Amino acid sequence: MPVHLAAHRPAGTGTPAGRPSSAAPSRAPDPAGRAAELDRLMRPDPRPGAHKVVVLALDGVYPFELGIPHRVLGSADGRYEVLSASVDGQPVRTDSDLTVTPGNGPEVLAEADTVVIPPYAISRASAAVPDPQALAALSRVRPGARLVSICTGAFLLAAAGLLDGRRATTHWALTDHFQELFPRVELDAGVLFVDHGDVLTSAGAASGVDVCLHLVRQDHGSEVANQVARRCVVPPYRDGGQAQYIERPLPPTGGTGTGPTRDWALQRLELPLLLEELAAHAAMSTRTFARRFREETGLSPGRWLTQQRLRRARHLLESSDLSVERVAHEVGFATATSLRRHLAAEAGVAPSAYRRTFRASGPASVRESAAATGQGPRGRRLTGS
């Protein structure tokens, strides 16, 4: 016999049988109100003077990447005002069976602090002869504004001459076509993103998440970037120098890979960590370990260690009062001078200036560049020093 857990109520009453009603009637659920409250928590209104980001949607835009800046930067507690625009103020066809209607025309680009060009469908013909309206819209961007491309968005920046003589990246599958069209650009097809400070280019699809988190990290520090990553349920940090996935033969099976050794190394970054020690932990020869490591991470063991040490050093500079010398010791750099040199190469500032920047309110103007590799000869400390 079925069991009914709801109390019996006589028809026409709102209370159990035999019990007088004294409480006010309960309010009906308000799903719309709950959704609005959740939206306010996840994407609060922009703060006064928030950094204005405009996402320029071109014909054939990819919907997923179009939404990335809104979702990631819009989750930074109102630090960014994220708007969308089209080249003519009209709806835009996507590369799928839907059309989007940006809220602005190209005139809003003149007000932007950062302009993001998400990917759009291209052919050899369209890439060789870009849309004049798109180039005209891009010309509205004011001097000093930051430009960011995701995937094929780099084709528009290159067509406008903004990448000439610069290192840049795009989706790995388009590299031959890109190099053929834009020989003046130094294309690096093996990285997730490249940051020149005023212009950033990123690879395909999810690397748009990485470059947007990178912007938050550069503007507001790792703590805010990590909060945003948690809200978006994505990994908090993938370095721009990390390899794109490029189709290649699978590495030989057998063995355990270098993942456990990377985890082991992260627990003892303050130690010298010779290449021989890492290889011994993985039960491999040094040559095999170095080869496997690069296959799995896209980096040499030395460069990877340098990046992890810098990442931890940045966190300590932001969150503690430890001296620069102590921070260097805690993360495994031989000297404070070594930390200063590597942080300057990565972020363009000294440790003391980095600490002041990310403890102050407001966005930071810290430039990310390629981290030094730190790869040394056999037996040398792999600290980058």
One domain, residues 59 and 193: yes
- pLDDT of amino acid 240: 62
| C-alpha span between 148 and 208 (Å, rounded) | 9
Q: What is the mean pLDDT of residues 29-35?
A: 64
Q: 76 and 154: one domain? A: yes
Marked catalytic residue, from 53, 55, 117, 151: 151
Distance CA 156, CA 252 (A): 40
Residue 4, domain member (yes or no): no
Buried b (16+ CB within 10 A) or exposed e, 167-181: bbbbbbebbebbeeb
Q: Crossing angle for the helix pair 301-319 and 336-347, nearest 10 degrees? A: 90
Pairing of strands 146-150, 199-202: parallel
The domain that holds 267 is classified in CATH as 1.10.10.60
Range 45-57 average pLDDT: 94
Same domain membership, residue 190 and residue 338: no
Q: Are residues 208 and 133 in the same domain?
A: yes
For residues 220 and 317, membership in a common domain is answered with no
Confidence of residue 35 (pLDDT cuts 50, 70, 90): low
Instruction: Tell whether 127 and 72 lie within a shared domain.
Output: yes
DSSP 82: E
What is the count of structural domains for the chain?
2
Q: Residue 94: helix, strand or coil by DSSP? A: strand
Task: Render pLDDT for 286-325 as a digit per residue (tens, 0 to 9).
Answer: 999 999 998 887 789 999 999 899 989 988 998 899 999 9
Strands 167-168 and 186-187: parallel
Within this chain, do residues 74 and 168 fall inside the same structural domain, yes or no? yes
CB atoms within 10 A of CB 215: 27
Which pLDDT does position 383 carry in this prediction? 38
List the single range of 68-77, 221-230, 271-280 with lowest mean pLDDT. Answer: 221-230
Q: Return the SS3 of 175.
A: helix
CATH number at residue 169: 3.40.50.880
Q: Are residues 222 and 288 in the same domain?
A: no
Mean pLDDT of 222-239: 81
Asked whether residue 319 is domain-assigned, the answer is yes
At 324, list the tokens.
């620069």
**Any catalytic annotation for residue 151?**
yes
pLDDT digits (tens, 9 = 90+) for 132-166: 999 999 999 999 999 999 999 999 999 999 999 99
Global pTM value: 0.62
Q: Are residues 150 and 200 in the same domain?
A: yes
Q: Is residue 30 domain-resident?
A: no
Owning domain of residue 272: 259-359
**Residue that finishes a domain, picked among 232, 267, 287:** 232
